[in-house]
C-alpha cells in the first residue's frame, strides 16, 4: 500500500533530522549561555537591556523546543526517589551553622519576617536556576553528548564558570552542579534539587563573611563590590548564589 506524498512531506517537516535537531540544540546553548555571561559581565545600564533580552530568549527557546513538563523535571514522579538530597542539605547546613557560630562568622537577618523577606525571593530564584540547569542546559547536552556522565560534567562546568571570579561559589557550584545533574538523570525531578539548592544557598549566605563572599556576587558585581555595614539584603539575595539569568544587576552598589 503506497503512502501519499503529502503525508510523507508532512511527517518530515514535523520530525526534524537528528543532525538538524543537534545543530538547533547547540545554537540554543551558545546563545543562551552567551547572554548569561553578557548579563553577568556587563555594567549598567546596558545590563538591564541584556537581562530582558536573555529572559525573552529563554522563554521563546523553551516554547519552541518544548517537549513535556516531565522532560524539564516538573512532575511528581521521581520526587521521593531524589528527596534524600534535601536531607543531606539540611545536615550540611546544621554542621556549617555550628562551626560558623563557634567561629563567630554566623550572621542572619533576624526575626521570622526578616528571614521571609530576605530569602523568599531567593527560594523562587533557586527553582528558576535548577529549571535552567537541568531542564534547559542538561536536557540539550544529553541529546548532543552520548555519555550521560560527560554531559552532566559539562553542564556543571559551564554552571561553575558563570560564577567566576568568586572563589567560594565557583568550586561549590561545580560540586553542586555535578551532583544535581547526576541525581536529575536518575529521577527526572527538579523540585527536590531546587529545595536543596535554596537550603545550600542560604547556608552559604549566613555562614561565610561578606568580605570573602562579596554578598554572593559573581562576575563584574564581585569585582566592583564595596562592603557595607549590613551584610544581607533582598537585592543581594536576588542576584546571589547562582547567577544564570540575573534578576537584578550584579554590579549593584
- How far is it, in rounded angstroms, from Cα 253 to Cα 248? 11
14-38 average pLDDT score? 86
Q: Confirm whether 6 is domain-assigned.
A: no
Does the structure show a pLDDT above 50 at 36? yes
- How far is it, in rounded angstroms, from Cα 201 to Cα 152? 21
Q: Confirm whether 8 is domain-assigned.
A: no
Confidence of residue 16 (pLDDT cuts 50, 70, 90): low
pLDDT of residue 228: 65
Reported as a single tens digit per residue, the pLDDT across 167-211 is 999 999 999 999 999 999 999 999 999 999 999 999 999 999 888
- How far is it, in rounded angstroms, from Cα 41 to Cα 67? 32
Q: Confirm whether 216 is domain-assigned.
A: yes
- How far is it, in rounded angstroms, from Cα 204 to Cα 169? 9
Angle between the 169-187 and 191-207 helix axes, to the nearest 10 degrees? 160
pLDDT of residue 15: 54
25-40 average pLDDT score? 95
- Write out the DSSP string of 61-75: HHHHT---TTTTT-S
Does the structure show a pLDDT above 90 at 157? yes
Q: Confirm whether 95 is domain-assigned.
A: yes
Q: Which residue has the higher pLDDT, 13 or 187?
A: 187
Q: Is the dihedral of CA 203, 206, 208, 211 positive or negative?
A: positive
> CA angle, corner 162, sides to 128 and 186, nearest 5?
55
What residues make up the domain containing 86? 19-238
> CA angle, corner 241, sides to 225 and 140, nearest 5?
125
Could you give the residue ranges of the DSSP H alpha helices within the chain?
Answer: 5-14, 18-41, 46-64, 84-102, 112-130, 139-144, 148-161, 169-187, 191-207, 210-213, 219-223, 234-238
Reported as a single tens digit per residue, the pLDDT across 67-121 is 888 888 888 888 898 999 999 999 999 999 999 989 888 887 777 787 777 788 8
- Total domain count for the chain? 1
Q: Confirm whether 52 is domain-assigned.
A: yes
Does the structure show a pLDDT above 70 at 35? yes
Q: Confirm whether 251 is domain-assigned.
A: no
Q: Confirm whether 10 is domain-assigned.
A: no
Q: Confirm whether 190 is domain-assigned.
A: yes
Amino acid at each position: 500500500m503506497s503512502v501519499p506524498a503529502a503525508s510523507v512531506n508532512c511527517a518530515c517537516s514535523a520530525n526534524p533530522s537528528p543532525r538538524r535537531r543537534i545543530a538547533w540544540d547547540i545554537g540554543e546553548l551558545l546563545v543562551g549561555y552567551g547572554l548569561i555571561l553578557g548579563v553577568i559581565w556587563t555594567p549598567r545600564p546596558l545590563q538591564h537591556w541584556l537581562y530582558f533580552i536573555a529572559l525573552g530568549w529563554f522563554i521563546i527557546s523553551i516554547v519552541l523546543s518544548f517537549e513535556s513538563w516531565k522532560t524539564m523535571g516538573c512532575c511528581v514522579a521521581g520526587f521521593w526517589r531524589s528527596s534524600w538530597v534535601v536531607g543531606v542539605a539540611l545536615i550540611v547546613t546544621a554542621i556549617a551553622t555550628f562551626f560558623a557560630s563557634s567561629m563567630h562568622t554566623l550572621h542572619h537577618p533576624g526575626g521570622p519576617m526578616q528571614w521571609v523577606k530576605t530569602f523568599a525571593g531567593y527560594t523562587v530564584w533557586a527553582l528558576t536556576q535548577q529549571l535552567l540547569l537541568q531542564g534547559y542546559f542538561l536536557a540539550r547536552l544529553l541529546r548532543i553528548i552520548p555519555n550521560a556522565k560527560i554531559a552532566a560534567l559539562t553542564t556543571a562546568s559551564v554552571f561553575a564558570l558563570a560564577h567566576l571570579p568568586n572563589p567560594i561559589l565557583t568550586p561549590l557550584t561545580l560540586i553542586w552542579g555535578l551532583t544535581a545533574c547526576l541525581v536529575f538523570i536518575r529521577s527526572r525531578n527538579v523540585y527536590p534539587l531546587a529545595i536543596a539548592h535554596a537550603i545550600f544557598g542560604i547556608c552559604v549566605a549566613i555562614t561565610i563573611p561578606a568580605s570573602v563572599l562579596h554578598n554572593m556576587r559573581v562576575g563584574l558585581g564581585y569585582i566592583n563590590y564595596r562592603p557595607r555595614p549590613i551584610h544581607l539584603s533582598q537585592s543581594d539575595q536576588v542576584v546571589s548564589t547562582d547567577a544564570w539569568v540575573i534578576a537584578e544587576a550584579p554590579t549593584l552598589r
